[in-house]
Amino acid sequence: MLVECYDKSGAEVYEMIIRQILQDVQISRAIKDMKVFIDPREPVFIIAVKIEKAAPPIVVDDFTEYEFKKEEDKTYIRVKDETYLPELLQKLWETEGREKIEQPSRFEVIITNPQVELEGMAIHDPKEDLKKKIYDALFRIIPEGLKVIKHSSEEDIISFLCSDEVIKDEWIKKQEEMINELK
């Protein structure tokens, strides 16, 4: 992590604040690299974060077995690990409609007149969860009062340029440089 500021002691204090926030949100190990530029005289705050790779999405096939019975026009799902059951039910309610989903037990779900293809259906995406936590941390890190924000997100890099004034071209250039340094 690099905090760049004309005031060396201010940079050190802000680095401590950032580390504490990352620890509070429990994402310290998910951050591969980070660059921060602060100049309260302007005022401008730029942060660019490179995220570690996340686990692949959890699909229905990872934690269930299912079978379609044509004569009944129903798909029977047997849940082997109930960790993702709430997300499975939510996804089925969204795609099939709540009225077509039965849950006779914790480990059994029945879909009447199924229309959706279960094979390979993503139920939980750890990368999206990680991104939500990182955005939460970034919004906590941004100094209070800097409400004009230019956001950038590409692949595994997220960046914010913040000020309380109209964003200057030189700041945009600085943000782009910081992003390129993380690539």
What DSSP line would sit under 141-152, residue for residue? HSPTT--EEEEE
Indicate if 119 and 63 belong to the same structural domain. yes
* Structural domain boundaries enclosing 166: 2-54+126-182
pLDDT (tens digit per residue) in 14-51: 999 999 999 999 999 999 999 999 999 999 999 999 99
Give the tokens for residue 8. Answer: 């060396």
Q: What is the DSSP letter of 1?
A: -
Indicate if 49 and 76 belong to the same structural domain. no
The fraction of the chain above a pLDDT of 90, given in percent, is 95
Decide: 6 and 39 in contact? Cβ < 8 Å: yes
Indicate if 19 and 40 belong to the same structural domain. yes
This prediction has a pTM of: 0.80
Indicate if 50 and 67 belong to the same structural domain. no
Domains in the chain, number = 2
pLDDT (tens digit per residue) in 75-89: 999 999 999 999 999
